Amino acid sequence: MKFRFTLVFLFLVNGSIAQELNGDQILGNWLSDNQQTIIEFFREGDAYFGKMVWLEHPNDENGQPRKDVRNPDKSLRDQLLLGLVCIRDMVYSGNALYKNGQGYSPDFGKYLRGNLKLLDENTLEVNVKIAFFTKTVVWKRISFDQSTGRVKRYSMERG
């Protein structure tokens, strides 16, 4: 009986430790809720970051690659949106939650505080704080070949 309890206890402890240490589950490509951007998450040290690796409309009205024209820092307005790190410093806090980071919206030229939560291995809840309000959207994991710019698997319906 004692042996069985020890095995069950070790299994539970090891399972929860493995789950707690698995912040890397967020790594990979995610299709935004409006299906116009693919964000690739990567890790640097203990923090997670996201960069734009695909845009539905990568060029402006003149056929030139889109730039960060609304950036509050005028010296950064010539940087390209494609490749732009738009999510910074997310820290995994356990229970599939990433906190204390910032997201940058090039549409508004603003940095916003937010949290991320993995609802399952292919569904990411994005919570953005705007003043006293929180906006929640859902992103889906997607397979994407950066070398060709093609989506390998597209399981979301356009609505």
Amino acid 143: pLDDT: 86
Distance from the Cα of residue 6 to its chain's centroid: 39
Residue-wise pLDDT tens digits, 11-22: 443 444 444 458
Amino acid 159: pLDDT: 39
Ordered by where they begin, the domains of the chain are 25-150 (2.40.128.520)
Cα-Cα-Cα-Cα torsion 75, 78, 81, 84, nearest 10 degrees, comes to: -40
Runs of H (alpha helix) within the chain: 2-20
Amino acid 10: pLDDT: 37
Residue-wise pLDDT tens digits, 40-56: 999 999 999 999 999 99
Tokens 């790594």 sit on residue:
27
Pick the closest to residue 54 from 37, 40, 35, 69 (CA basis). Answer: 37
Q: Kind of pairing, strands 47-55 and 133-141?
A: unpaired
